[in-house]
Amino acid sequence: MGFRCGQERVRQGGNMTAAQIQEDIKARLSNIENMLPASMPRVSEDMIRDSLMSDEFLDFIKINMMPVEQLMTFYQCAIMQVETKFNILNEQFSLSLDRNPIQSIKSRVKSYDSIMKKIRRKKIGLSIEDIEDKMNDIAGVRVICSYVDDIYLLADCLLSQDDVILVERKDYIKDPKPSGYRSLHLIIKVPIYLQNEKKEVKVEVQLRTIAMDFWASLEHSLHYKRCQADGAECGEAEELAGELIECAKESARLDAKMQEIRDRIAELSGES
């Protein structure tokens, strides 16, 4: 997942300009042309210029892309909504707990490329309604905490808010994935208020500790290597996956120990 960080607000990939779309079409046509036998007529540049780069065709693309771009804007707004909720909780707890439970927040709207790949992989229908209904992770917010307790505290606070609807909860902290992956995943719906309507938008929230996040990014890079590896490299990748499972267990022990020490420090402070 390519998440942007905190204030950085970099919108991920996908938003092609009309000029980029033209170039893309041109490149694709040129590829097709190269595949044709030499005897077949070539697509002339004039035809590309007059038809595929015509105002009518560009308007056609623009009009058809509009609902998709609008949908992406809704997801971006929903992310802002959820980020604000977490920032408010963080501020509030910084007073009552005298520390910030949230270390950082990273968010992203899924790129068009990843959306297309998921549509293909999960055989999702091509309508906007199908995409909204079947894809839960177009908007993603990742909340990084120092301690495991804070993850559950923040999740409970978020879910108790009356405009947040829980769609799905997966606790990979209590039940880690076979890879060793740990995080708390919530699929929620939050309202965004538009000019004349209220719209419920789905957001995938991943809550994890710094240690879980560190582990996940390392494992993620191995995942891609594993997909590409063959022969001897494949054996090496499998070995590394085994070592990562051990690392995940170590990091879970570290999380538990750090939390225990923090609680004991809190008790000491309470006594003094």
> Which residues in 214-243 contact ligand GTP (CB under 6 A)?
216, 219-220
Residue 267 annotated among the catalytic residues of the structure:
no
**Contact letters (x/-) for ligand GTP, 123-142, by CB under 6 A?**
--------------x-----
Residue 249 interacts with ligand GTP (CB under 6 A)? Answer: no
Which residue, 57 or 172, is less far from ligand GTP as judged by CB? 172
Which residue, 14 or 191, is less far from ligand GTP as judged by CB? 14
Cα Rg for the chain, rounded, in angstroms?
A: 24
Residue 213 interacts with ligand GTP (CB under 6 A)? Answer: no
Binding span for ligand GTP by CB under 6 A among 10-18, 157-165, 174-182, 234-242: 174-182
Which residue, 137 or 219, is less far from Mg ion as judged by CB? 137
d(CA 149, CA 158): 14
**Would you list the DSSP string of 178-215?**
TT----EEEEEEEEEE-SS-EEEEEEEEEEEEHHHHHH
| Interface residue with ligand GTP, options 99, 169, 177, 249 (CB under 6 A) | 177
Long-range Cβ pairs for the range 52-61 (8 Å, 24+): 52/22, 52/25, 52/26, 53/22, 58/18, 58/21, 58/22, 61/18, 61/21
- What residue ranges bind Mg ion (CB under 5 A)? 137
